[in-house]
Chains A and B, each alone.
Chain A
Amino acid sequence: MSENQTIPLPEKEYVTLNLGPTHPATHGIFQNILKMDGEIIISTEPTIGYIHRAFEKLAERRPYNQIAPITDRLNYCSAPINNMGWHMTVEKLIGCEVPKRAQYIRVIIMELARIADHIICDSVIGVDTGALSGFLYIFQEREHIYEIFEEVCGARLTTNTGRIGGMERDFSPKAWEKLEYFVKHFPEKLQEFENLLLRNRIFMDRTINVGAISAERALAYGFTGPNLRAAGVDYDVRVANPYSSYEDFDFQIPVGTNGDTYDRFMVRLEEMKQSLGIIKQAMKNMPDGPIYSPDVPEFYLPPKEDVYSKMEALIYQFKIVMGEMDVPKGEVYHAVEGGNGELGFYLISDGGRTPFRLHFRRPCFIYYQAYPEMIKGSMLSDAILTMSSMNVIAGELDA
């Protein structure tokens, strides 16, 4: 090779970067194969399905009451909302009216779950910008919520709470005590968290105009929940199609304008306050009465003393445990406002003891496909932030 000969440089070379499947920054099992130009993302190829458990197939062989534990494992950050959504779907199918007290208790539990879900998402946005302190402070409150769940149903994360036709048990005095403690102390803790991030210059620089999506694109991509509201569309299932007495409560639906990471953060922050307001109203106006519908004894385990002394109760106990409840034919869709969007259950019953077909409308499965478009042209660190602000939960994504 002569000294004067020049080596031609390649025109442009991209780097392929494999982010995931298990990467500490992605908070779940997501794989993204990124094509990078320096630190700028050119294109993204997401691969999902790493924790696919075929829930839609599993549900076809389970009696209706045994499907509730499956729903726990969809969005496991707000499992009670999924449980209640499922119970309400079956109640719609069998035409069961749930007593008011049970509906209010459900509202309290669902709103607690929403707060827990938003705490995780918002604090993790902070963590991904490098602000760990807020996460550490606010997670104490999530612990208090889980203690309430533990008091109500015995479980913390995968709650399997509520039953078709009502609630499995009323709140114990201890649960009320814990709930009152939480309601009293949460606002100041939330304020503390807010002060750490809300007007923090570094946080604002990292999140404003990062991962933005317009309202038109968000609707085209089937966004729902806080991500859609951050883009400026005031769609909330709790208001559009009220379920479980949400029409009794007075609350605001916060909306953003830019649909960027900061707006998503802000919408969730405000929703936590609104949820707290709903919980307070529900506690104040809690009606008396039964906590399950007397019309559907075939779905509600009778008290143990009745099982040992009454024939009818024994029969129902046996039928429930063996999964022998017959359900009418029908086809229903019921949606609830989950932690990250409209969680829908499309259920077809052919009159058997298990669903003929059950389809979950999983909000984050639908909106995660906009992720490549949202991070195109942004930096890798912003892509991480965008993903955490979208609140993509692996369990729900892969079902």
Chain B
Amino acid sequence: MIATQPHIEWMEAVTARLQAEFGGNILSIEQSYDFPVVVIAKQSLMDVLSFLKNDPDMGFTFLTTLCGLHVPGYEGGEFGMMYQLQNMQQNRRLRIKTYMPESDLDVPTATNLWPAANWMERQEYDFFGFNFIGHPDLRRILNMDEMNYHPLRKQYPLEDLGKHDKDDAKFGR
């Protein structure tokens, strides 16, 4: 029988293992809807990801997706990366997040662990401007090479600035 919901005991086991291995670099572990979400310090990102991939008890061998985040109001963590891993044998999923200040967008690349991360990281570089250290081919992928900004950052409004019918206030913000 395949587990469709993450088990509490399994969550606790993962939490304990991660706490034991990385201690203070694990900033928080919580359950968000049907997902355990682990927020970690950036310097331990590669260690955590390779531990989750290579440790036989963890077995998160599949990188489902990764994406960048821009949270302008979050002091010292304006930018973030989200990695979503999957253990296909046991049908478990896990989300890893890390935040970093705008002044330091260097992120170690995950391409050494998963070749699939190549284009995903290129996309996040294209959208947000993360500098993936060690990436084999860090170029824009969806936008044109001549573009001189990273369009998914929140400072670039989607609407024409002359228009006022779609103010933030009208969107409940």
Contacts and interface: CB of A to CB of B under 8 A. Distances in A.
Interface string A232-271: 0101000111100000000000000000000000000000
Interface of B: 2, 4, 32-35, 37, 61-65, 67, 69-70, 82, 84, 88, 91, 93, 95, 114-116, 118-120, 123, 127, 140-144, 151-152, 158-159, 166, 171-173
B120 A366 contact: yes
A57 B62 contact: no
A360 B127 CA distance: 13
Given A221-B116, A399-B142, A57 B151 contact: yes
B173 A350 contact: yes
13 contacts: A52-B143, A93-B33, A220-B115, A220-B116, A222-B116, A332-B35, A333-B93, A346-B82, A353-B171, A359-B82, A361-B65, A366-B65, A367-B116
Contact of B127 (A56, A235, A351, A352): A56
B140 to A, nearest CB: 8
Contact of A333 (B95, B140, B171): B95
B173 A49 contact: no
What are the 8 A-B residue pairs with the smallest beta carbon separation, nearest first? A222-B116, A49-B142, A361-B65, A359-B67, A52-B142, A61-B158, A369-B119, A353-B172
Nearest to B120: A366
B116 A48 contact: no
B7 to A, nearest CB: 14
Contacts of B173: 350, 352
A350 B69 CA distance: 13
Nearest to A216: B61
A54 interface: yes
A351 B32 contact: no
A330 B33 contact: yes
A57 B32 CA distance: 24
Select the residue from B61, B116, B140, B144 with max chain A CB neighbours within 10 A.
B116
A344 interface: yes
A222 B85 CA distance: 11
A331 interface: yes
Contacts of A241: 4, 91
A221 B115 contact: yes
B62 A48 contact: no
B2 A222 contact: no
Contact of A222 (B62, B82, B95): B62
Contacts of A399: 142
A117 B84 CA distance: 27
A344 B86 CA distance: 13
B116 A369 contact: yes
B116 A366 contact: yes
Contact of A219 (B4, B37, B61, B166): B61
Contacts of A348: 69
A57 B68 CA distance: 12
A111 interface: no
Contacts, number: 106
B118 A369 contact: yes
Which size class do A's interface residues fall under?
35 or more
Given A222-B116, A361-B65, 13 more contacts: A222-B62, A240-B2, A240-B4, A240-B91, A330-B33, A332-B33, A333-B35, A353-B172, A354-B171, A359-B65, A365-B123, A369-B116, A370-B115
A3 to B, nearest CB: 50
Contacts of B82: 346, 359
A359 B81 CA distance: 12
Nearest to A56: B152
A39 interface: no
A398 B69 CA distance: 19
Contacts of A324: 172
A72 interface: no
Contacts of B63: 222
Contact of B172 (A92, A326, A369): A326
A298 interface: no
Contacts of A326: 172
Contact of A54 (B2, B84, B151, B159): B151
A49 B141 contact: yes
Contacts of B119: 365-366, 368-369
B88 A48 contact: no
A233 B65 CA distance: 18
B146 to A, nearest CB: 13
Nearest to B158: A61
Contacts of A58: 158
A189 interface: no
A70 B123 CA distance: 19
B119 to A, nearest CB: 5
Nearest to B126: A49
Contact of A330 (B32, B67, B142, B159): B32
A92 B63 CA distance: 22
A219 to B, nearest CB: 6
Interface in A43-101: 48-49, 52, 54, 56-58, 60-61, 92-93
